[in-house]
């Protein structure tokens, strides 16, 4: 039986959520009202310290149905996180700590959610990280990591394909540290879920290798929920607790989709408050005994953290090396060795495909960088993402690896991989997570990549086969619009290195990054080492890689596999009496962060600038007066033949360079970097 | 028992595929060798006419594991489609009819596949279209439509989330006309599927509402495959026949991932040919009796089509109205009424959100346009995609609709919706298919949208909530990079109408389109009707919507909700002595198709041009000298406050316009439309 106080606490959560939505006159009251009992039962047994939301061994909670965030904000407030009633009152207003969907930057919010399906995948990433972390650092008598990851999700998440990908993998990985609650409320925006969603969710999850538990009346039966949680902790599989709830429980319109996405009517709110013993004239009312009840949870969490800190000190004595490593990682610092582990090339070194150069980087840096973990979406042999001695991250029972393994077999699941990486990165402990696929198929994960950038998870995409240069696989696999898309995303580095030094620079910046994710676009075909490149220069995002002999009459600006072609084109142009400089621009985002003075030294006034890249020209006018690119889909054939077909040869570059110089003869050209005002980037 | 001739036919398919891959020295021999028996058993009972691959009542075949396309090309050749042995010999070469993955334009190829997961969803779209078509036109004694849709798919497709979305919907929709073969070969690129994929596929499909059948030895047991097909045709659910095959069957390396994605060794090919009674020294050998065997299938198909044509003539007599409609649609013609059904607005009409204007268009045109079908990914009430009297497309047994219904409840499945639309469109009969979601979540479907553009399926995305103007839902829902991404995609119209006339123009072009898909970006907030707009002008993609009084010193170029703001900004600038013209540019793609003369009349030399749009500026330098946009993520709050915060107000536009004019004072400006050469668009 639930105590009166517990029921009051549940109703406080419900009413805070209702009041927040009503005050904003915008938002979703129904799901918070339905899920408040589960939230109460869960959070009162969770381990966390609201005074230090970053404690590495806290239990994680992810609200995958992020539109229900009034629930999460109410919980954070009631359990003592730094979120005030005034914050709740500013729900969904400009500048609020309580935006329309939960955002990572608010303390206590583990991941940004709202785009459906993402949160459950983030939770799976968090659970994978815990398993890897525990297997790496736990020792007999020193259980430094044993937290659980909990997740609420609804029908919407379950319909999204990204969830299918990650949930199947979670089953395969036997993530017993993951407990998810499926809010079976039968309502989505189009009405009853039976208009589109009549699958047997439980059978589906079981087919993935999950355990299922059921709470038939999760509107009132708190004990049943608690029992299910206790039961779920006992298994070595991920568990889903299917809770049958009434959306908008208590409202006069409960159980209908009218309570899903709009505030309750004023009368309805009043009858709710009266019914539950609250003052119908008051809003945002919190009985002191509810605060007191929940404060105990925070106090227990603080004590647990203190105990953990003591344990860590003992551990550091017993295992000085591992202890030091752990402390370094918790401080967010890279090992001093990192930079000098990066390979350096000179012009005499062999031509190598940049996907292979990437493999060399991984192989050189991994030893001193145990926080480096990653994998591929079933393209290991093509992406070259696995260093020789890597151990797979696998349940030991499979005989295929260990949980301490650092290589992930994601399966053909790009979107799931992206969302899992976000969760993994959000775990903390300085994890540097990467995922491999063909550049063209990073687009399958656009929803997750966007959230990496929005939340600032410094994950890394190893995106090989980065152009028409992949050859025979043809236009279905050849990126055209892809880099334009990614370069238009705020807070994303999009590296396309031209040789070995540039590949090292890309990894340098990607791994040093604390809040910006990276896509590293890599070639299938061999690329020569350039005389003019260096890690230091490339790490500025753009630099002169080939200087014109004499006053330049033309600047070519290029990336990746086209830089060497541009240099050869520049040599031809010089022969024809047009001294030409070549700028390599491996990452726009990093270049844009340099001083205007530096940038204008690279792309100065007075000289025509022509971009050279074998894909959409759409974003190149930012740095050039004229663009040479491919604004159509590619072709299937041998790579050199395709390059020739599209005229991406030294001759093709030179003839267009000549036309460009003639076209602008006599004009007073300004560098495109000159602008009368900054485009808004507040 | 399989006859000797049948086995010879199967081995001919295998060897043609092997030879094609060897000749190209690139491609995937393993899956064709494993799936040849199923292909033989299936194609010999399929109904199609290779002399007319467009016959509307043909059975459809989709190879979802498109990398196995050597199989498909072999079949098309052997069964008499216009694909010669020479074509097969040019497999994966530049200009070949047999590119690295199958492409829609090749006769007999129903949809482009290769990007995993798409094909099975296309097949579901094809099956939905058949159900809708049959329910619309079949009459007692006149079964004009009864074709099946068949699909081969493998582990890779099953891992992709997009397949999960569509397969769940297919189960819900009880598509008994869909029969899919799951190639359970246990191999993917990373090796044995047990490294990442240990779910119970059959149980999962059953949870979606599919029937499962099994063929345990699909390497040799042709009869078992045929029996399974016969059995599958009897049920009123989609059926999956799980066939256990040996990848690379017959090769010395059969069953290993070495035969997945690389040619067999020469010796291996020789032993194969010897073993199967072929000449080991010959390549591309086809026994005449195999041609003869397969010719019978085509002859039967031609006869069936002739019979069908006779039936159609009788039908036209019995049902003159429906018959005429059907003939019109088969001819790919729109009804004459279409254009005059489009609503026209004048400046005195109310301000209306463009999502609502879109609803008005749908409501006005649907009656005379029965080929217009569509739905929403669970955002019907927000996207406003359903006209008042619409009937849902549902299995009649649900009591929720009919198969003749034209409104789809896609569920929260954006990517699945996109891929289903492609299949639906590929069915023929002039179907105009649309799908609704928030603009930001079209990105979830990037993989399918790309294939719409690549294949030229003229589907329509109704993409509402198109900017920060959606307000409180915040940055997780506010597009920033989205239009830059879509505008960089070749062969895609991306409309962002500014008012009622422009919304009608967007639909005019989208529905008239035969080979170009459209995204129509629509506002949540109200937009005033503009004095200077008309359907005709907007249908050019860009036009002067507000003319400066006097010689313009500045041109503002804008789209959607920012056009009215720009006009108000222009009025302020005029007051300040800067006559300003405003260009509305609702679709770049359409504008680019106009003559240079027309385009330069809109964006002439000599006047500074400033773009105004509340999202990434990345692609705007193509049409402007200066860009005003938002190169960061948005914010949660009331829409008018967010617009003010980012300074997208008449004042904010005017102050930047002023700076732009000052900045370029004295410069001889060229229109950005001037270029020394065309960027490659061969």
Alpha-carbon distance of B506 to B587, in angstroms, equals: 8
pLDDT tens by residue, A500-518: 999 999 999 999 999 999 9
**Does the beta carbon of B196 lie under 8 angstroms from any beta carbon of chain A?**
yes
Evaluated on CA atoms B193, B198, B202, B207, the torsion sign reads: negative
Q: Which residues contact A389 (CB under 8 A, 6 or more apart)?
A: none
Identify the pLDDT of residue B188. 85
Residues 350-379 in A contacting B (C-alpha not used; CB under 8 Å): 376, 378-379
Q: What is the extent of the structural domain holding A592?
A: 545-664
Three-state secondary-structure class, residue B630: strand
Of B414, B502, B562, B613, the catalytic one is: B414
A65/A186 same-domain check:
yes
Give Cα separations from B166 to B68, B119, B124, B413, B625 (angstroms). 22, 11, 7, 8, 44
Residues from chain B that touch A613, judged by Cβ atoms under 8 A, are none
Contact B477 A94 (CB under 8 A): no
Report the interhelical angle of A4-24 vs A30-43 (nearest 10°).
140
Triad B512, B513, B517: Cα angle to 5°: 135
Alpha-carbon distance of A74 to A28, in angstroms, equals: 13
- Which strands, in side-by-side order, build the sheet including B432-438? B407-409, B372-376, B432-438, B460-464, B518-521, B493-495
pLDDT tens by residue, A368-424: 999 999 999 999 999 999 999 999 999 999 999 999 999 999 999 999 999 999 999
Query: Chains A, B: CB contacts under 8 A, how many?
Result: 422
Q: Which residues contact B349 (CB under 8 A, 6 or more apart)?
A: B500, B529
Encoding tokens for residue A346?
A: 């000179």
Three-state secondary-structure class, residue B609: strand
**Does the beta carbon of A219 lie under 8 angstroms from any beta carbon of chain B?**
no
B513/B555 same-domain check:
no
Assess: ipTM above 0.95.
Answer: yes
Three-state secondary-structure class, residue A241: strand
A117/A194 same-domain check:
yes
Alpha-carbon distance of B495 to A403, in angstroms, equals: 49
For B186, the enclosing helix (H) or strand (E) is none
Alpha-carbon distance of B91 to B93, in angstroms, equals: 6
A203/A151 same-domain check:
yes
Alpha-carbon distance of B554 to A113, in angstroms, equals: 42
Q: What are phi and psi of A189, to 5 degrees?
A: -60, -35
pLDDT tens by residue, A228-244: 999 999 999 999 999 99
Contact A26, B641 (CB under 8 A): no
Lowest-confidence range among A195-204, A452-461, B256-265, B562-571?
B256-265
Contact B380 A190 (CB under 8 A): yes
Three-state secondary-structure class, residue A486: helix
B336 burial via Cβ count (<10 Å: 0-12, 13-18, 19+): exposed
Residues from chain B that touch A189, judged by Cβ atoms under 8 A, are 378-382
Three-state secondary-structure class, residue A637: coil
- Which strands, in side-by-side order, build the sheet including A407-409? A407-409, A372-376, A432-438, A460-464, A518-521, A493-495
Question: Is there a domain that residue A259 lies in?
Answer: yes
Q: Pick the closest to residue B30 from B138, B183, B194 (CA basis).
A: B183
Contact A26, B636 (CB under 8 A): no
Beta carbons within 10 angstroms of residue B479's beta carbon: 27
Binding residues of B for substrate: 28, 260, 355, 382, 465, 473, 477, 524
* Residue A322 labelled as part of a binding site: no
Of A161, A481, A656, the CB nearest to B488: A481
Identify the pLDDT of residue A186. 87
Q: Which residues contact B480 (CB under 8 A, 6 or more apart)?
A: A488, A489, A490, B615, B616, B630, B631, B632, B633, B634
Question: Is there a domain that residue B39 lies in?
Answer: yes
Question: Is there a domain that residue A534 lies in?
Answer: no
A177/A276 same-domain check:
yes
Mean of all residue pLDDT scores within chain A: 96
Question: Is there a domain that residue B673 lies in?
Answer: no
- Counting every residue written for chain B, the total comes to 682
Q: Which residue has the tokens 């319909």?
A: A159
Beta carbons within 10 angstroms of residue A179's beta carbon: 26
Evaluated on CA atoms B153, B157, B159, B163, the torsion sign reads: negative
- Which strands, in side-by-side order, build the sheet including B626-628? B543-546, B580-584, B554-558, B609-612, B626-628
β A407-409/A187-188 pair status: unpaired
Residues from chain A that touch B642, judged by Cβ atoms under 8 A, are 94
Max intra-chain CA distance, chain A = 91
Identify the pLDDT of residue B668. 86
How far does A327 lie from chain B, in Å, by closest CA?
Answer: 32
Alpha-carbon distance of A460 to B192, in angstroms, equals: 26
β A493-495/A518-521 pair status: parallel
Encoding tokens for residue A285?
A: 């009312």
Indicate the DSSP class of residue B553: S
Residues from chain B that touch A491, judged by Cβ atoms under 8 A, are 632-633
B414 is catalytic: yes
B483/B570 same-domain check:
no
* Residue A61 labelled as part of a binding site: no
Q: With a cut of 60, say whether residue A1 has pLDDT above it.
A: no
Residues of chain B with pLDDT under 70: 1, 679-682
Encoding tokens for residue B659?
A: 């700076």
Alpha-carbon distance of B564 to B555, in angstroms, equals: 14
Question: Is there a domain that residue B671 lies in?
Answer: no
A292/A365 same-domain check:
no
Closest residue in A to B644 (Cα–Cα): A94
- Assign residue A617 the CATH number of its domain: 3.40.50.920
Residues from chain B that touch A637, judged by Cβ atoms under 8 A, are 92-96
**Does the beta carbon of A298 lie under 8 angstroms from any beta carbon of chain B?**
no
Q: Which residues contact B137 (CB under 8 A, 6 or more apart)?
A: B144, B145, B322, B326
Question: Is there a domain that residue B226 lies in?
Answer: yes
A236/A288 same-domain check:
yes
pLDDT tens by residue, B645-666: 999 999 999 999 999 999 999 9
Question: Is there a domain that residue A311 lies in?
Answer: no
| Category of B96 on φ-ψ map: left (φ > 0), alpha (ψ -120 to 50) or beta | beta
pLDDT band at A679 (very low <50, low <70, confident <90, very high): low
Alpha-carbon distance of A636 to A643, in angstroms, equals: 11
- Assign residue A357 the CATH number of its domain: 3.40.50.970
pLDDT tens by residue, B544-598: 999 999 999 999 999 999 999 999 999 999 999 999 999 999 999 999 999 999 9
A502/A601 same-domain check:
no
How many domains does one find in chain B?
3
* Residue A441 labelled as part of a binding site: yes
Q: Which of B302, B328, B356 is at the close of a domain?
A: B302
Identify the pLDDT of residue B682. 45
Contact A441 B447 (CB under 8 A): yes
Residues 50-89 in B contacting A (C-alpha not used; CB under 8 Å): 66
Encoding tokens for residue A475?
A: 């236009």
For A546, the enclosing helix (H) or strand (E) is strand A543-546
A501/A626 same-domain check:
no
Identify the pLDDT of residue B679. 64
Contact A618, A611 (CB under 8 A): no
Encoding tokens for residue B173?
A: 């929709």
β B149-154/B178-184 pair status: parallel
Q: Which residue has the tokens 């005389």?
A: A531
* Residue A115 labelled as part of a binding site: yes
Task: HSE, CB side, 13 Å, CA atoms: give it for residue A279.
Answer: 7
Radius of gyration of chain B (CA): 28
Contact B680 A628 (CB under 8 A): yes
Number of H helices, E strands in chain B: 26, 20
Contact B450 A443 (CB under 8 A): yes
Contact B167, B180 (CB under 8 A): no
Residues from chain B that touch A207, judged by Cβ atoms under 8 A, are 199-201, 203-204, 207
Identify the pLDDT of residue A682. 45
How much of chain A exceeds pLDDT 70, in percent? 99
Best residue in B649, B680, B681, B682 for a mutation probing chain A (most A CBs within 10 Å)? B680
Identify the pLDDT of residue B680. 56
A499/A557 same-domain check:
no
Binding residues of B: 28, 67, 114-116, 155-156, 185, 187, 260, 355, 382, 441, 465, 473, 477, 524
Question: Is there a domain that residue A122 lies in?
Answer: yes
SS3 string, A370-419, reads CCEEEEECCCHHHHCCCCCCCCEECCHHHCCCECCCCEEECCCCHHHHHH
Alpha-carbon distance of B149 to B123, in angstroms, equals: 6
How far does A46 lie from chain B, in Å, by closest CA?
Answer: 28
Beta carbons within 10 angstroms of residue B220's beta carbon: 14
Indicate the DSSP class of residue B437: E
Residues 587-626 in A contacting B (C-alpha not used; CB under 8 Å): 616-619, 621-622, 626
**Does the beta carbon of A192 lie under 8 angstroms from any beta carbon of chain B?**
no
Q: With a cut of 80, say whether residue A225 has pLDDT above it.
A: yes
Contact A23, A283 (CB under 8 A): yes
Contact B190 A481 (CB under 8 A): no
Identify the pLDDT of residue A681. 52
A380/A285 same-domain check:
no
Alpha-carbon distance of A622 to A611, in angstroms, equals: 10
Indicate the DSSP class of residue A115: S
Contact A114 B656 (CB under 8 A): no
Give Cα separations from A302 to A54, A298, A428 (angstroms). 12, 6, 19
Alpha-carbon distance of A162 to B201, in angstroms, equals: 17
Contact B580, B660 (CB under 8 A): no
Contact A352, A526 (CB under 8 A): yes
């Amino acid at each position: 039986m639930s105590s009166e106080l517990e029921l009051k606490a549940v109703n406080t959560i419900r009413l805070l959520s209702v009041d927040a939505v009503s005050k904003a006159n915008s938002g979703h009251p129904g799901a918070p009202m339905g899920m408040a009992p589960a939230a109460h039962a869960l959070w009162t047994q969770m381990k966390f310290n609201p005074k230090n939301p970053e404690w590495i061994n806290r239990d994680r909670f992810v609200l995958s149905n992020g539109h229900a965030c009034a629930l999460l904000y109410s919980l954070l407030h009631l359990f003592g996180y730094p979120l005030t009633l005034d914050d709740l009152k500013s729900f969904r207003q400009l500048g609020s700590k309580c935006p329309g969907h939960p955002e990572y930057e608010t303390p206590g919010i583990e991941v940004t959610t709202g785009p459906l399906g993402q949160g459950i995948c983030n939770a799976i990433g968090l659970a994978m990280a815990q398993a890897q972390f525990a297997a790496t650092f736990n020792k007999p008598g020193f259980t430094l990591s044993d937290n659980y990851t909990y997740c609420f999700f609804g029908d919407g998440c379950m319909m999204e394909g990204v969830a299918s990908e990650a949930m199947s993998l979670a089953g395969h990985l036997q993530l017993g540290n993951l407990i998810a609650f499926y809010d079976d409320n039968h309502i989505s925006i189009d009405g009853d879920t039976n208009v589109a969603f009549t699958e047997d969710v439980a059978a589906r999850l079981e087919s993935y290798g999950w355990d299922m538990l059921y709470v038939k009346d999760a509107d009132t039966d708190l004990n049943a929920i608690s029992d299910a949680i206790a039961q779920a902790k006992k298994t070595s599989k991920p568990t889903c607790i299917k809770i049958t709830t009434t959306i908008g429980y208590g409202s006069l319109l409960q159980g209908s989709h009218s309570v899903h996405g709009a505030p309750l009517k004023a009368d309805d709110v009043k009858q709710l408050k009266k019914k539950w013993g609250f003052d119908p004239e008051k809003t945002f009312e919190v009985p002191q005994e509810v605060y007191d009840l929940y404060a105990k949870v925070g106090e227990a969490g603080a004590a647990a953290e203190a105990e953990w800190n003591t344990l860590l000190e003992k551990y550091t004595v017993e295992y000085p090396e591992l202890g030091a490593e752990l402390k370094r990682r918790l401080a967010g610092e890279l090992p001093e060795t990192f930079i000098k582990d990066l390979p350096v090339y000179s012009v005499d070194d062999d031509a190598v495909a940049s996907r292979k150069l990437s493999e060399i980087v991984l192989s050189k840096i991994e030893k001193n960088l145990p926080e480096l973990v990653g994998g591929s979406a079933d393209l290991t042999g093509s992406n070259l993402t696995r260093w020789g001695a890597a151990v797979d991250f696998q349940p030991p029972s499979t005989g295929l690896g260990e949980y301490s393994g650092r290589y992930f077999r994601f399966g053909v699941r790009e979107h799931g991989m992206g969302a899992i990486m976000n969760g993994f990165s959000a775990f903390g402990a300085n994890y540097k997570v990467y995922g491999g696929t063909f550049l063209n198929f990073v687009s399958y994960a656009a929803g997750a990549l966007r959230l990496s950038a929005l939340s600032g998870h410094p994950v890394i995409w190893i995106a090989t086969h980065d152009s028409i240069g992949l050859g025979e696989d043809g236009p279905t696999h050849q990126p055209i619009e892809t880099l334009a898309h990614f370069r238009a995303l705020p807070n994303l580095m999009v590296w396309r290195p031209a040789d070995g030094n540039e590949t090292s620079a890309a990894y340098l910046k990607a791994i040093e990054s604390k809040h910006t994710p990276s896509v590293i676009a890599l070639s299938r075909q061999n690329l020569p080492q350039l005389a003019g490149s260096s890690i230091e220069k490339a790490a500025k995002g753009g630099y002169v890689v080939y200087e014109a002999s004499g006053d330049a009459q033309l600047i070519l600006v290029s990336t990746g596999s086209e830089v060497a072609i541009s240099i050869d084109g520049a040599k031809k142009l010089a022969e024809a009496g047009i001294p030409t400089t070549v700028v390599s621009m491996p990452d726009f985002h990093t270049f844009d962060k340099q001083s205007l003075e530096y940038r204008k030294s690279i792309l100065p006034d007075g000289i025509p600038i022509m971009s050279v890249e074998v894909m959409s020209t759409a974003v190149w006018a930012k740095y050039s007066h004229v663009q040479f690119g491919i604004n159509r889909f590619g072709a299937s054939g041998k790579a050199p033949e395709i390059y020739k077909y599209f005229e991406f040869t030294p001759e093709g570059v030179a003839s267009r360079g000549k036309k460009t110089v003639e076209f602008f003869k006599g004009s007073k050209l300004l560098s495109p970097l000159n602008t009368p005002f900054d485009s808004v980037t507040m």
